[in-house]
Structure 1
Amino acid sequence: MGFKKILKDGIIGNNPVLIQLVGLCSVLGVSTSVINALGMGVSLMFVLILSNLVISVLRNFIPDDIRIPCYIVVIATFVTIVDLVIKAYMPELYAQLGIFIPLIVVNCIILARAEGFASKFGPVQSIVDGVANGIGYTLVITILALFREVLGAGSIFGFEFLSGDKIKPIGIIGQAPGSFILLGFILAAFNYILYKRKKKAEEEDE
């Protein structure tokens, strides 16, 4: 499989959040601010890339009947590294992300790429797949967080810009229901764009 196709599938064509609809727990829970979203995205990408690499290298040595426990051990190792590093050097971010960092171990994106890709392809392709899906996840959670922070808190990167009696933040956007509503709009817009592109391609082929 070519690198271009792997990148395109991970970021757009088979985006883990918008197409596969996996990893939604952290997407909805952490997207209260752009900083949190970027921190979660980078953390997941680090685990995804390195776990893909190790599982790809060891794929011919892991027995089929215990492959899932082996994958979880590999993933848990890198999650522990991320957890300890963030806790030691970025305590404020660690306090915000909380339980969502350890929960990367059971994130469906990580397990799906391990089982569906890294266990079947070589190390270089698996690294590219990890990068692509990591970018795809990070883009979605960051876009969602941008809308939630701007509309729900009236700020960006902690700097408030909506104040006064005339313009106020939309409180519900910063709450749990707001994340569902905004993600629904993002999903609708993304699928509409894909539909229009597909329809245009079909018309050009005729």
Structure 2
Amino acid sequence: MTFDELRRIAGNGIWKQNSSLVQILGMCPLLAVTTNLVNGVMLSLATIIVMSLSGAVISALRNFIPHEIRIPVFILIVAALVTMVDLLFNASLHELYLVLGIFIPLIVTNCLVLARVEAFAAKNPPLQSAFDGAFMGVGMLWTLGLLGGMRELIGNGTLFSGIELVVPGLNHWQLLPADYPGFLLAVLPPGAFILLGCMVAWKNWVEARALERHRQTPPPAPAVPAPTLPAAS
């Protein structure tokens, strides 16, 4: 795999084909889990593990899976990997596991996971498929992390609530005054929809600005060949 190919896969997953801002997939965890930054990031990390492993496994087995039953087999492989991640979280981060609850097993039903293994892993080599799944997950991670951070800050005036469940001894940041009354709409699903719409609009604005700058940039002047001196007689 070349560096240009890796850069293209990373750019598609993180920005150009971002699962939340472009494809609008995975709305269930986006609405329910992103009440704070930590929950959104940790669920995204679990999704990254599942997507990268499922991409590599399905890509390696794609020539052995009959086309007619590929979808049930894909779901079976993804479900097995999700079960492993679910048990891992339960064993190592039990208190956080109780907070995330059913949303770790629900990774199986995330449209993003099945869409990527069907659209990419079933047609490409294992290494590229693993990187595609990982970078698609990274795109989900920064989107859910940013959305969760904004909802937490606006709704409660804090940041990194629940970090003690991941790293014992750390505490959240109280960024707004302690008597901040909070803004309930931000931590409810309608608030997530509103903030997600703002993020989609911001992404479209950034891309429109970049396209406008590209159009206004004059093309490079053609190179003028150096004059040749007449040969000495």
Q: Which AA in structure 2 matches 1:144?
A: L
Aligned residues: 205
Q: 1:22 aligned to 2:22?
A: no
Work out the CA distance in 2 between the residues paired with 1:69 and 1:189.
38
Correspondence for 1:13: 16
1:80-119 aligned within 5 A: 80-119=83-122
Once the two structures are superposed, what CA deviation does each residue of 1:105-160 show, in whole Å capped at 9, x if it has no partner?
Answer: 01111001100000000011111101210100001000000101111111112333
User: Deviation per CA, 1:154-205, whole angstroms, max 9, x where unpaired?
Assistant: 111233343455x432221111211111111111111111111122223336
1:161-176 equivalences in 2 (<5 Å): 161-165=175-179, 167-176=180-189
Identity of aligned residues (%): 40
Q: Distance in 1 between matches of 2:87 and 2:154?
A: 33
Residue from 183, 187, 195 that aligns with 2:208: 195
**Residue 4 (structure 1) aligns with:** 7
Output the TM-score relative to the length of structure 2.
0.84
Provide the residue aligned with 1:31 in structure 2.
Answer: 34
Q: Using a 3 Å threshold, how does the CA distance of structure 1 residues 164 and 45 change in structure 2: closer, same or farther? A: closer
Aligned counterpart, 2:78: 75
TM-score by length of 1: 0.94
Question: Using the alignment, how far apart are the partners of 2:178 and 2:58 within structure 1?
Answer: 54
TM-fit CA distance, 1:88: 1.9
Residues 162, 169 of structure 1: 8 Å contact kept: no
Distance (Å, rounded) in 1 between the aligned partners of 2:16 and 2:214? 15
Equivalent residue, structure 1, for 2:46: 43
Instruction: Provide the alpha-carbon RMSD of the alignment.
Output: 1.5
Question: Structure 1 residue runs of 4+, over 2 Å off?
Answer: 158-165, 202-206
1:140 to 140, 143, 148: 143
The aligned residue for residue 192 of structure 2 is: 179
Aligned ranges for residues 55-74 of structure 1 at < 5 Å?
A: 55-74=58-77
C-alpha distance in structure 1 between counterparts of 2:117 and 2:104, whole Å:
18
